[in-house]
Structure 1
Amino acid sequence: MSTSAAVRPLTRPTARTRAARFDLSRLGPNWYATVMGTAIVANGAAALPVRLPGLIGFGEVMWALGLTALLVLAAARLVHLTRHRAAARAQLLDEPATAVFYGCPPMALLAVGLGTLTLGSRVIGTGPAVAVDAVLWGVGTLYALTVAAGIPYLMITRHPVSVLEANPTWLLPVVAPLVASACGPALVPHLPAGQPQQALLYGCCALFGVGLLATLVLLPVVFTGLFHTKLPALALTPSLFLVLGPLGQSVTAVHQLADAARPVLPGPASVLLPLAELYGVAVLGVAMLWLAVAVTANLRARRAGMPFAMTWWAYTFPIGTCVTGAAALARHTGFGGFTGLATGLYLLLLVAWVLAARGTAAGLARGRLLARRTR
């Protein structure tokens, strides 16, 4: 898979060029990673098993920032899809390296929706927060299922891809249902008791199965590509963090499902919680091992001169899912080690967000991102 505009590193403009204006024909679905990364900072603040002064207020600010970014980006993408149809069609059908990033929009919707319920309710009220989350979760879930089926279908039937060139961005379309399964249980208590709650809970369990099994199918393919051809560009090195996404998100999801099942399905819940703890410890251990690999590879890439690219946002959401997964383990087990792990990962997440946000802001200000060049 060749490197597209979604992962192309930024180059220093020459003295004869300058940014004339933003060119929305170049706006791709990868930009939703900025929303995902901001929203997970907010959600992580709400999930942390420690309560520090100002933490929730900080989370509310990050939620508001993520919601604002989502609204602005959705409007820009609407312009892109209506005025630049040829470019939008090419991104989906003819650019496989860009098409996989269509997994980002549904995850952005889902993450902002959850933040609205857990943090935004203190700002806009519980009723409106539930309504907003219900809409964003519903739209995001349908979007996630469409992408999880549609992008692999295009890979099979249209995209010129090779297993030997697979990289972690291939995971993006199939992780989205896992995110839906982790965010959906928060809505269960707000539904009428009985079958409505059970239907949502069973639906989230099915989404968990879809995302987890699809990830288990794709992970060996991704590792095959990494071992055989390495990463095709230095700017793709941050994508190694994407392997953490399904790991941390699945740990978060099983614990959220176990919590929601207690009053709704007490029989299965008695088995689900111990299973969630065992699963969480095992999978989070694998995630921490891969985190060490990803950090080492990225430090090496930085020493080799890796420039900023939008792939730097891959640092944020995957680490954030590990924060929420470790926080869930701390909540259910009471083990202080998981509390320390969640806190340490959250600090790492904050550093990752600052790096990605600073690089994006600088790129926009200097005309290196989404700018049409004129001489």
Structure 2
Amino acid sequence: MSTLADVRPLTRPSVARPRFDLAQLGPNWYAAVMGTAILGNGAAVLPVRAPGLVAFGEVMWALGLAALLVLGGARLVHLTRHREAARTQLLDDPATAVFYGCPPMALLAVGLGTLLLGSKVIGTGPAVVIDAVLWTAGTVYALAVAGGIPYLMITRHRLSALEANPTWLLPVVAPLVAAATGPALVPHLPAGLPQQAMVYGCWSLFGIGLLATLVLLPVVFTGLFHSKVPALVLTPALFLLLGPLGQSVTAVHQLADAARPVLPALAPAMAALAELYGVAVIGVAVLWLAVALTANLRARRAGMPFAMTWWAYTFPVGTCVTGASALARHTGFGGFTGLAVGLFALLAVAWAAAASGTVAGLARGRLLAR
């Protein structure tokens, strides 16, 4: 006979919840901020106006800013409590070190979004201040990474050009992002020397990023031709080659616009250069987009699982959105308008895939789980 002592209260089986290990939080996570911010920025500059497009951009800006703040706090904990892991990521692990190009690009993209979209929410004055702070911090960070990571690759990291991959471009693309986002601040600077210094400085950043990319591109293709893509999960990295293409097109057009009232003698030459350069390079970007899409569709059919590398689908495509939008605005050619809209739709799909996979991975304990 059972007694009261034998009776046990009915309880739900305990479900083990994942414990996040911030020691595993690398700089590659800033790619999620970059991808979210560029989606909002693309909505802001798209050469067509659709109902709800600006509101959608504002939501993406808010999400990007929130993600930047949360991730920045988590990275601060990582850098202070897990110093050995952080040192290893930067000094000893070349595969991770190249992703230090992501944090400055995240700062720059969110800063521009604050000016383009956030100003309607928080006001122009605060938006200018926030963008100026983020642009300055992002540019200093970008220059440190563009010089520091190649220095480590030359002096410390044990690397082979035959194993190069598109992630090697991340540190040197950051100055191009600074060059493309800086001109938006020019109208908010005092007339004269400050505005001229900003335009000339952004042209210098453009040169740093473009020439460094041109140096590395043959090395990257050598590695791809020799070693192929070493794992299915790395196939999305092929999209990273779009980044310097789309970002450089965006930068030359932004600089041409900024030069018109500031450097009137050079403005016509800059406008012509922007149009000719932009048409040529956006064509290369479209060709490579077809190659990267084909390779990734093949990888999906082969069973490529979700990984944080999926965020490589977003920011590079976003730079092509802003580049094609600038071409549409400068040339008035409807073909570039259609291209910008099509690329924006692709960007939205890519963001949805990467964001949903990230949320699901965190919820299931597959990302950053101890």
TM over 0.5: yes
- Indicate the SS of the match to 2:49: coil
- Residue in structure 2 matching 1:328, options 320, 326, 329: 326
- Indicate the SS of the match to 2:140: helix
Structure 2 counterpart of 1:275, which letter? L
Aligned to 1:72: 70
Taking the aligned partners of 2:303 and 2:89, their CA distance within structure 1 comes to: 28
Tell me if structure 2 keeps the 8 A contact 1:38–1:353.
Answer: yes
Q: Based on CA coordinates, which of the two structures has the bigger radius of gyration? A: 2
Structure 2 counterpart of 1:90, which letter? T
Aligned to 2:243: 245
Structure 2 counterpart of 1:185, which letter? P
Aligned to 1:12: none
* Percent identity for Structure 1 against Structure 2: 82
1:40-79 CA distance string (max 9 Å, x none): 0000000100000110000000000000000000000000
CA shift at 1:317, angstroms?
0.2
Aligned to 1:3: none
Q: TM-score, normalised by structure 2?
A: 0.96
Alignment of 1:174-323 (within 5 A): 174-323=172-321
Alignment of 1:125-144 (within 5 A): 125-144=123-142
Taking the aligned partners of 2:200 and 2:50, their CA distance within structure 1 comes to: 35
Aligned to 1:89: 87
Report the count of equivalent residues. Answer: 356
CA shift at 1:329, angstroms?
0.3
Taking the aligned partners of 1:151 and 1:119, their CA distance within structure 2 comes to: 33
Tell me if structure 1 keeps the 8 A contact 2:172–2:213.
Answer: yes
Runs of 4+ in structure 1 off by over 2 angstroms are: 17-20
CA shift at 1:20, angstroms?
3.5
Tell me if structure 1 keeps the 8 A contact 2:18–2:364.
Answer: no
CA shift at 1:119, angstroms?
0.4
Taking the aligned partners of 1:269 and 1:119, their CA distance within structure 2 comes to: 27
CA shift at 1:160, angstroms?
1.1
Taking the aligned partners of 2:169 and 2:220, their CA distance within structure 1 comes to: 8
Structure 1 counterpart of 2:106, which letter? A
CA shift at 1:231, angstroms?
1.3
1:130-152 CA distance string (max 9 Å, x none): 00000000000000000000000
Taking the aligned partners of 1:147 and 1:28, their CA distance within structure 2 comes to: 15
Taking the aligned partners of 2:247 and 2:62, their CA distance within structure 1 comes to: 22
Q: TM-score, normalised by structure 1?
A: 0.94
- The CA RMSD over aligned residues, in Å, is 0.8
CA shift at 1:19, angstroms?
5.0
- Indicate the SS of the match to 1:307: coil
Aligned to 1:161: 159
1:277-310 CA distance string (max 9 Å, x none): 0100000000000000000000000011101110
Taking the aligned partners of 2:17 and 2:351, their CA distance within structure 1 comes to: 26
Taking the aligned partners of 1:307 and 1:92, their CA distance within structure 2 comes to: 27
1:139-173 CA distance string (max 9 Å, x none): 00000000000000000011111100000000000
Higher relative contact order (CA 8 A, sep 6+): 1
Tell me if structure 2 keeps the 8 A contact 1:18–1:367.
Answer: no
- Indicate the SS of the match to 1:161: coil
1:244-271 CA distance string (max 9 Å, x none): 0000000000000000000000111111
Taking the aligned partners of 2:215 and 2:310, their CA distance within structure 1 comes to: 26
Taking the aligned partners of 1:232 and 1:83, their CA distance within structure 2 comes to: 33
Gaps of 5+ in 1: 1-16
